[in-house]
Amino acid sequence: MAELVDYEKRGTVGVVFLDNPPVNAMGAAVRQGVVKCLTQACDDPDIQAVVLVGRGRCFSGGADIREFGKPFESPHLREVIDTAENSPKPVVAAIHGTAVGGGLELALGCHYRVGDKSARLGLPEIKLGLLPGAGGTQRLPRLIGVEPALGIVLSGEYMPADKALALGLLDEVAEGGLAEGAVTFAERLVSEGRPLRKTRELTIDPEGAAGIFEKTRKSIARKARGLIAPYRCIESVENAVALPYDEGMAKEREYFLECLESEQSKGQRHAFFAERQATKIPDVPADTPVQPIETAAVLGCGTMGGGIAMNFANAGIPVTVLEAEAEALDKGLAIIAKNYTGSVSRGRITQEQMDRRLALITGTTDYADIAEADIVIEAVFEDMDLKKRVYATLDETCKPAAILATNTSTLDVDEIAAATKRPGKVIGTHFFSPANVMKLMENVRGAKTSDETIATVMKLSKTIGKVGVLVGVCDGFVGNRMLYAYTRQAAFLLEEGALPHQVDKVIYDFGFPMGPFAMGDLAGLDVGWRIRQRRAKTRPKDERYSPIADRICERGRFGQKTNAGWYRYEEGSRTPQPDPEIEELIVQVSGELGFERREISEQEILERCMYPLINEGAKILEEGIAIRASDVDVVWIYGYGFPVHRGGPMFYADRVGAKAIHETMSRLHDQHGEMLRPAPLLADLAKSGKGFGDL
Ligand code: 3HC
Ligand code: NAI
């Protein structure tokens, strides 16, 4: 087996290279290699200092997540780090690209840290439902202070070199070659007789940390409800203040193992790999040529178009926004500017970043101005005739190589593609609202979409900071089709006896940011109302249909924008308040439909909402609309706020068990009829004892 760590001498400095592509994950062979090379350097009388550096794209992406849950192979990462920290010769971490998780913990155990401008440092363990388990919670607060350390551990975000330097996480940012810079730095340490600075020996002033932990617990309470890892992170950092180093380390280990074994971490680790798996399309090989996207255009600058344009500008890609009328264009551009101003005032971006991004967005009403764009994303009204006309014009105007993408949420991408002479270049790019915030892009593959178009758009998703999932054409694609299966059951529950806040509470407690009714009020009830009116003609007469939402809209209650919808809202507030008027309406509709209202348990609400959603996911898999069950999970986590610690709906289904879900669905089918018939795939899995993850 190739060595994953190698060693060379540069004068009196020994350089240890981590060489485990793609991200120098610290698997067993790397851990063994680092200890071996450090020992070799320490035993060599010619060597006075050691530099640790990563080959390839980064220093290290941390512990090898694939090893979690498998038999352990010595040495532990903590021992590797101790070997560095206990070295009698100074050890310098030379950081380029990411040094995160166990990778940063290794660097924290080195006596000094030098980075280059590309360095990004962080402890992302919390995103895997874990806490740093190799001393991160003990060394980081000692090195940079409790408050910034808590920020890093709890956010899981990566920080750039200049910030890390300012915090004292890096000792120097090298200009030019990193390894050379670090070797020079190490030589200087030796010649100046600088001490071996052991992070574990630094002290924390307990008075300076007073009050921080309680304040932090309060500040994360809503977001971290029901989660284990965030609270263990806080406790562990608290231990760094209160306990001697060794005791703090022992506690950190205990918490880490507890988290590692938790269902929450399993769900989050599944989500990590699911997101990366989604980039792999079985029949579109990884080496499929990709078109360069250097300029973009967006058609329509309404709710979605404006947000989509911002994504390009944020990624540094010039984008031209085309509207039909100058007035609509001015309005759309003004909203974009207002959004950026909001980000500046909240400290998310600087004024300079805002100016740079705005300068990349140009408005026009003339198709000639978008003729050279590499991709056009259409986000005009949801109207097939309009879209067909727009596509015919785009086809005539845009250069032949341009990809024409549609943001439609319900229309047939193949029908849209047929309006052009380049169906291979037509694809759906379904963004989620607000498009500059939500990370999901459902990329919809039409019957004739070419491999090159698919590969280009999947890559583009990542370039503009989105998570792309390839799906097939059907009504609602993956996400909205499953959403409908769930929200309509939520509405039926109201007819049968529940109230909106009861349903919403169950879904919120399950871990969603909000329940279906609060979500409806946020999105605007008029949108769905219009879609339902359009579909009324084609709806089968015998299909169960809940009129409550329509009756609410008929009263001019469109949700938060009118301060009234499923709930009422105080002027200027976004907090939903149960509204007696709506409760009266619901009871009235129950009576009209002949329902004897009954007590509905929280368990029934959960099953009635989540199992039909899962059942629809099963149908989607049967039909090949999604490539794999984990893709459905990614859609739901990034597009709809499905709790990531539950791993997404299909992963959650496997935790509950296909057999149990099938039994409940069969019972519901008997009680409520055809709409709740279990999917054949669910029945197969129930019979075979397998799960969606086994497909
Ligand atoms: N272990 C195993 N595999 C990893 C990994 C890790 N820590 N980090 C990344 N990978 C794999 C990915 O699964 C992917 O595999 P694939 O090609 O087979 O799909 C490949 O490396 C490339 O990853 P990305 O597509 O994410 O590459 P990017 O260049 O976009 O990003 C990165 C690189 C910034 C390192 C990003 O992968 C990342 O943020 N990884 C998260 C790392 C993480 O969570 N580390 C903490 C691990 S837990 C830990 O360290 C515990 C310790 O405290 C004891
Ligand atoms: P919107 O009504 O806010 O914006 C549409 C914009 O298109 C308007 O500004 C309008 O002036 C412009 N427009 C109309 N005809 C045009 C033409 N011929 N040329 C150029 N511009 C034209 O609509 P919204 O919500 O942004 O939706 C746009 C598309 O995105 C629709 O297909 C919709 O289904 C889809 N979508 C909407 C989501 C949402 O939450 N609103 C979510 C995902 C997709």
Digit-coded pLDDT (tens) for 464-491: 999 999 999 999 999 999 999 999 999 9
Compute the distance from residue 428 Cα to the ligand 2 centre, in Å.
14
* Ligand nearest, relative to CA of residue 139: 1
DSSP result, 600-661: --HHHHHHHHHHHHHHHHHHHHHTTSBSSHHHHHHHHHHHH---GGGT-HHHHHHHH-HHHH
pLDDT confidence of residue 540? 87
CA pair distance 107, 62, nearest whole angstrom: 11
Q: Averaged over 395-414, what is the pLDDT? A: 96
pLDDT confidence of residue 504? 98
- Is 646's pLDDT higher than 80? yes
Q: Closest residue (by CA) to atom 14 of ligand 2? A: 380
Atom of ligand 2 nearest to the CA of 380: 7
On the CB side of 178, CA atoms within 13 Å amount to 25
Smallest CA-to-CA distance from 478 within 604, 366, 636 is with 636
* Catalytic-role residue among 73, 85, 125, 157: 125
* Ligand nearest, relative to CA of residue 367: 2
Mean pLDDT of the chain: 96
H/E element holding 553?
Answer: helix 548-554
Q: Averaged over 525-552, what is the pLDDT? A: 90
Q: Averaged over 144-154, what is the pLDDT? A: 97
Compute the distance from residue 77 Cα to the ligand 2 centre, in Å.
52
Compute the distance from residue 416 Cα to the ligand 2 centre, in Å.
15
pLDDT level of residue 1 (50, 70, 90 thresholds): low
**Residues in a beta bridge with 13:** 10, 49
Atom of ligand 2 nearest to the CA of 332: 9
Q: Which long-range contacts (CB under 8 A, 24 or more apart) does 258-262 make?
A: 258/228, 258/232, 259/129, 259/130, 259/131, 259/228, 259/229, 259/232, 260/68, 260/69, 260/130, 260/133, 262/129, 262/228, 262/229
Task: Tell which one of 381, 412, 640 to mutate to probe ligand 2, the residue whose CB is within 8 A of the most ligand atoms.
Answer: 381
Q: Does the Cβ of 300 fall within 6 Å of ligand 2?
A: yes
Q: Does the Cβ of 390 fall within 6 Å of ligand 2?
A: yes
* Ligand nearest, relative to CA of residue 384: 2
- Is 237's pLDDT higher than 80? yes
Smallest CA-to-CA distance from 41 within 73, 11, 1, 74 is with 11
Query: Could you tell me the CATH superfamily of domain 5-260?
Result: 2-enoyl-CoA Hydratase; Chain A, domain 1 (3.90.226.10)
Atom of ligand 2 nearest to the CA of 410: 34
Compute the distance from residue 23 Cα to the ligand 1 centre, in Å.
6
Task: Tell which one of 18, 23, 58, 459 to mutate to probe ligand 1, the residue whose CB is within 8 A of the most ligand atoms.
Answer: 23
pLDDT level of residue 644 (50, 70, 90 thresholds): very high
Atom of ligand 2 nearest to the CA of 306: 26
Compute the distance from residue 303 Cα to the ligand 2 centre, in Å.
7
Q: Which CATH number fits domain 479-624+657-694: 1.10.1040.50, 1.20.210.10, 3.60.110.10, 1.10.287.3610?
A: 1.10.1040.50
Q: Averaged over 489-511, what is the pLDDT? A: 98
Q: Does the Cβ of 393 fall within 6 Å of ligand 2?
A: no
Integer-rounded Cα radius of gyration of the chain:
28
CA pair distance 348, 364, nearest whole angstrom: 28
Residue 442 catalytic? Answer: no
* Ligand nearest, relative to CA of residue 123: 1
Q: Does the Cβ of 98 fall within 6 Å of ligand 1?
A: yes
DSSP result, 127-182: GGT----SSHHHHHHHHH-HHHHHHHHHH---EEHHHHHHHTSSSEE-SS-HHHHH
Domain ranges of the chain: 5-260, 296-471, 479-624+657-694
Greatest Cα pair distance, the chain, in angstroms, is 92
Percent of the chain with pLDDT over 70: 100
pTM value is: 0.95
Q: Closest residue (by CA) to atom 53 of ligand 1? A: 132
Residue 105 catalytic? Answer: yes
pLDDT confidence of residue 176? 82
Compute the distance from residue 399 Cα to the ligand 2 centre, in Å.
23
pLDDT confidence of residue 542? 85
Query: Could you tell me the CATH superfamily of domain 296-471?
Result: NAD(P)-binding Rossmann-like Domain (3.40.50.720)
Q: Does the Cβ of 302 fall within 6 Å of ligand 2?
A: yes
Angstrom distances, CA of residue 591 to CA of 550, 584, 639: 17, 11, 36
Q: Does the Cβ of 61 fall within 6 Å of ligand 1?
A: yes
- Is 535's pLDDT higher than 90? no
Rounded to a whole number of angstroms, the distance between the first and last alpha carbons of the chain is 32
Domains 296-471 and 479-624+657-694 share a fold: no
Q: Does the Cβ of 411 fall within 6 Å of ligand 2?
A: no
Q: Does the Cβ of 62 fall within 6 Å of ligand 1?
A: yes
Q: Does the Cβ of 407 fall within 6 Å of ligand 2?
A: yes
Q: Do the Cβ atoms of 432 and 440 come closer than 8 Å?
A: yes
**Angle value at C-alpha 690, between 668 and 659, nearest 5 degrees:** 25
Asked whether the bond before 244 is cis by omega within 30 degrees of 0, the reply is no
Q: Does the Cβ of 462 fall within 6 Å of ligand 1?
A: no
Q: Does the Cβ of 559 fall within 6 Å of ligand 2?
A: no
Q: Do the Cβ atoms of 33 and 5 come closer than 8 Å?
A: yes
Q: Do the Cβ atoms of 106 and 92 come closer than 8 Å?
A: no
Q: Do the Cβ atoms of 483 and 632 come closer than 8 Å?
A: no
CA pair distance 584, 603, nearest whole angstrom: 25
> 13 — phi, psi (to 5°)?
-110, 130
pLDDT confidence of residue 297? 98
CA pair distance 496, 494, nearest whole angstrom: 5
Q: Averaged over 195-207, what is the pLDDT? A: 94
Buried b / exposed e along 61-87 (16+ C-beta atoms within 10 A): bbbbbeeeeeeeeebebbebbbbbbeb
Edge-to-edge strands, sheet with 120-122: 98-100, 120-122, 159-160
When mean pLDDT is compared across 202-206, 310-314, 444-448, the lowest value belongs to 202-206
pLDDT confidence of residue 538? 87
Sign of CA dihedral 200, 206, 208, 209: positive
Q: HEC string of 195-217?
A: CCCCHHHCCCCHHHHCCHHHHHH
Q: Does the Cβ of 225 fall within 6 Å of ligand 1?
A: no
Q: Closest residue (by CA) to atom 1 of ligand 1? A: 64
* Catalytic-role residue among 85, 105, 323, 442: 105
Atom of ligand 2 nearest to the CA of 406: 32
CA pair distance 338, 393, nearest whole angstrom: 31
Smallest CA-to-CA distance from 565 within 504, 492, 484, 615 is with 504
Task: Tell which one of 298, 303, 432, 439 to mutate to probe ligand 2, the residue whose CB is within 8 A of the most ligand atoms.
Answer: 303
CA pair distance 553, 534, nearest whole angstrom: 15
Q: Does the Cβ of 304 fall within 6 Å of ligand 2?
A: yes
CA pair distance 147, 152, nearest whole angstrom: 9
pLDDT confidence of residue 530? 87
